[in-house]
Amino acid sequence: MLMQSKKIQADLILLLVAAIWGFAFVAQRLGMESLGPFGFNAFRFALGALSLLPLLLFFKPGKDHCHRTLMFSGTIAGLALFAGASFQQAGLVYTTAGNAGFITGLYIILVPLLGLFIGQQTNMNTWLGGLLAVFGLYLLSFQDLSAINFGDILELLGAACWAAHVLIIAKLAPKVDNLRLAIMQFVVCALLSALVAFGIETEQFTITNALSSWAPIAYAGLISVGIAYTLQIVAQKHAPPAHAAIIMSLEAVAAAFGGWLLLSESFSTAGMLGCGLMLFGMLISQLPAFRRKERTYV
């Protein structure tokens, strides 16, 4: 019963994470009016790390805490985080936003596929829910079909990196101090993003431009990075990776809603149907948990 309660709590946290990430797309679009994508990522991940530092005074590491393990874990998670964001941004140079949104969302299926190679089993309801979510994402993302190009390949590599990040967090969350893991991966991602920004976004990557985009950076750094990515680590202690991926994919629904609400973007009938299918897919992926709960009362 306690385990079931923790799983439900984890699902609710992941739903909150998806909502925060979805609205972060609005902040990212507004923030990149002054900054390049790598510069924006550098500032927001650095702010996310800084926002968590005061918590270190109140949350002490456990007795089994190992600095070497934390450094290694945070570096691996940070590399996956940086790779996913970088491939996604680079792909947008060559492909459409619709293609990028759909292909990135394929991590819903890539998570259980990659999980098979490391011995993780995924039940049939999760596979079915994932496929429905992918089809819903297709309806939500695509306005028209376009031929596969180099940008789409980069987006697919990015999706694989996001899937790897979900699996890495699932592996590390139960073993490493969550707060320190979050800070470490943010620092790694911020440093790598800053290095790239210094190389290819020299004119845009300035404090002046960062100050002119303070509001989007504040939301993306404090809320999207500092809170949401940390909650992801906490929730994935009790949520299977494939299941977590389906719930977090609902960020696409939140992004579409946020664009409609705040940026006056259109919300088509196909898009609304896609949102419905993604929600239905998430519910189907929950069915095994409900059945196990019913059996405990028999």
pLDDT digits (tens, 9 = 90+) for 79-93: 999 999 888 877 876
pLDDT of residue 291: 45
Identify which of 9, 215, 172, 6 has the alpha carbon closest to the alpha carbon of residue 81: 172
Query: What is the average per-residue pLDDT within 216-232?
Result: 92
Q: Which residues of 121-159 are buried (b: 16+ CB within 10 A; e: fewer)?
A: ebeebbbebbebbbebbbbbbbeeeeeeeebbebbbbbb
> Could you give the maximum distance between any two Cα atoms of the chain, in Å?
67
Q: What are the residue ranges spanned by the domains of the chain?
A: 2-54+64-297
Q: Counting runs of H as helices and runs of E as strands, what totals does the chain give?
A: 14, 0
**Dihedral in degrees, nearest 10, Cα atoms 105, 109, 111, 112:** 170
| Average pLDDT of the chain, as a whole number | 82
pLDDT of residue 182: 93
Q: Which of 117-121, 142-146, 157-161 has the highest mean pLDDT?
A: 157-161
pLDDT of residue 65: 66
User: Residue 5 contacts by C-beta under 8 Å, 6 or more apart in sequence?
Assistant: none
Identify which of 162, 170, 220 has the alpha carbon closest to the alpha carbon of residue 31: 220
- Supply 27's token pair: 């902040």
Examine the pLDDT at 127 and tell me if it is beyond 60.
Answer: yes
Examine the pLDDT at 111 and tell me if it is beyond 70.
Answer: yes
Distance CA 23, CA 84 (A): 19
Distance CA 246, CA 289 (A): 15
Query: What is the average per-residue pLDDT within 167-195?
Result: 92
Q: In this structure, are residues 231 and 52 in contact, taking their beta carbons and an 8 Å threshold?
A: no
Sign of the alpha-carbon dihedral angle for 75, 78, 84, 87: negative
Q: Which residues of 237-272 are buried (b: 16+ CB within 10 A; e: fewer)?
A: ebbbbbbbbbbbbbbbbbbbbbbeeeeeeeeeeebe
Segment 187-199, tens digit of pLDDT: 999 999 999 999 9
Distance CA 10, CA 86 (A): 28
Q: Which residues of 14-38 are buried (b: 16+ CB within 10 A; e: fewer)?
A: bbbbbbbbbbbbbbbbbbbebbbbb
Residue 145 DSSP one-character state: -
Between 117 and 161, residue with greater pLDDT = 161
Q: In this structure, are residues 124 and 255 in contact, taking their beta carbons and an 8 Å threshold?
A: no
Examine the pLDDT at 293 and tell me if it is beyond 50.
Answer: no
Distance CA 230, CA 244 (A): 14
Between 16 and 286, residue with greater pLDDT = 16
Query: What is the average per-residue pLDDT within 84-107?
Result: 75
Distance CA 247, CA 12 (A): 9
Is pTM beyond 0.85? Reply is no
Examine the pLDDT at 95 and tell me if it is beyond 90.
Answer: no
Distance CA 79, CA 132 (A): 30
Segment 30-55, tens digit of pLDDT: 787 888 889 999 999 999 999 999 99
